[in-house]
Amino acid sequence: MKLAVLGAGAWGTAISISLARRHSLVLWARDAQQAGEIAATRTNQRYLPGFTIPDAVAVTAELAAALEACDVILVATTTAGLRPTLRRLVAAGNTAPLVWLCKGFETETAQLPHQIAASELPPALPRAVLSGPSFATEIARGLPAALTLASHDPEFAARVARELHGNALRIYSSDDVIGVEVAGALKNVMAIAAGISDGLGLGTNARAALITRGLAEITRLGLKLGGRPATFMGLAGAGDLILTCTGDLSRNRNVGLQLARNIPLPEVLRSLGHVAEGVPTAREADRLARELGVEMPITRAVCRVLDGNVPALEAVQELLQRDPKPEHR
């Protein structure tokens, strides 16, 4: 199968390295200079240093060249980059099925990726989301990982999952697009909270409680939006949440760690060198939750810290002072 991977960030580069072991693949970079550097050095020094990109991966900044005769497109941009990328695909006359890898709510619209796709793509074009616990560096190293590929078309999801499945990469299929996307978006918000907790030295008991109650928040909003309960206990839900809240490679957890030291958010984001999707997603999720009447106290607390309204420690104390309630309701 011939694949086109659109987006030469860490995740796009890592998935290209992984899938090039079994498929013909073109990696598209929006920036011509970056594409030239990657093609010449066979490394992505800016976003994924230390890994050699196989010669089997063609690299280009020409979208038409990337799309030529491809069977499936993998869109590995940020959530903010998804809409403009889809518009370029439509303008190029693309008819190939596509899978997006981004996780988050779009800023200002609070739309999930499948809603963005629905507003930009022809209705009949097959599409899916690929999500789950996956640090880019471990995927590039060929270490074992399991992901979920979800589409409203179960047959398409199963077919593409079979094609991408192999070696150390296990791909499961699902038809719960909403659940997979909500879980993938909100786990980044909870990872910021976990980083704050760890940065304040609150201990592993607190982290376990936060992850568990964070999963409850994710599930509440996900069910309200139309997701299914089982999805939130699966790879895209609990799996990705645990990884992102505990792993040292988590950018969003790192944001929380630095916020706990009272480092201003702009400085935190400059130091990352990558996008932390949890920051814009937290604000959109908080706004959406309030519109829908869904209780999300952890998300609200994260937003207050992000906006500089309260120090991290004060936000934690406010959460601890909430009245006791039944655990399941």
- For residue 272, the domain's CATH number is 1.10.1040.10
The reported pLDDT for the residue numbered 328 is 85
Domain co-membership, 29 together with 48: yes
Residue that finishes a domain, picked among 175, 202, 232: 175
The reported pLDDT for the residue numbered 167 is 86
Domain co-membership, 139 together with 191: no
Catalytic residues: 187
Tell me whether residue 69 is in a domain: yes
Domain co-membership, 169 together with 209: no
Report the C-alpha gap between 195 and 174 in whole angstroms: 30
The reported pLDDT for the residue numbered 305 is 97
Q: In this structure, what are the phi and psi dihedrals at residue 51, rounded to the nearest 5 degrees?
A: -120, 135
In the sheet that holds 98-100, the strands lie side by side as 57-60, 24-28, 2-6, 72-75, 98-100, 127-131, 145-150, 169-174
Tell me whether residue 29 is in a domain: yes
Report the C-alpha gap between 111 and 104 in whole angstroms: 9
Report the C-alpha gap between 174 and 151 in whole angstroms: 7
Domain co-membership, 283 together with 160: no
Domain co-membership, 116 together with 193: no
Tell me whether residue 327 is in a domain: no
The reported pLDDT for the residue numbered 275 is 85
Residue that finishes a domain, picked among 112, 144, 175: 175
The reported pLDDT for the residue numbered 235 is 98
Report the C-alpha gap between 228 and 225 in whole angstroms: 9
**Residues constituting the chain:** 329
Q: Kindly give the parts of the chain with pLDDT less than 70.
A: none
Report the C-alpha gap between 150 and 24 in whole angstroms: 23
The reported pLDDT for the residue numbered 325 is 86
Domain co-membership, 246 together with 135: no
175 by DSSP, 3-state: which? Answer: coil
The reported pLDDT for the residue numbered 13 is 98
Which structural domain range is residue 215 located in? 186-320
Domain co-membership, 116 together with 240: no
The reported pLDDT for the residue numbered 208 is 97
Residue that finishes a domain, picked among 132, 150, 175: 175
Domain co-membership, 22 together with 157: yes
Give the list of residues 6+ apart from residue 174 with CB closer than 8 angstroms, or none.
148, 149, 150, 157, 180, 231, 234, 236
CA contacts within 13 A on the Cβ side of 48: 27
Q: What angle (nearest 5°) sits at the alpha carbon of residue 200, between those of residues 280 and 271?
A: 45
Per-chain mean pLDDT for the chain = 96
Q: Count how many domains the chain has.
A: 2
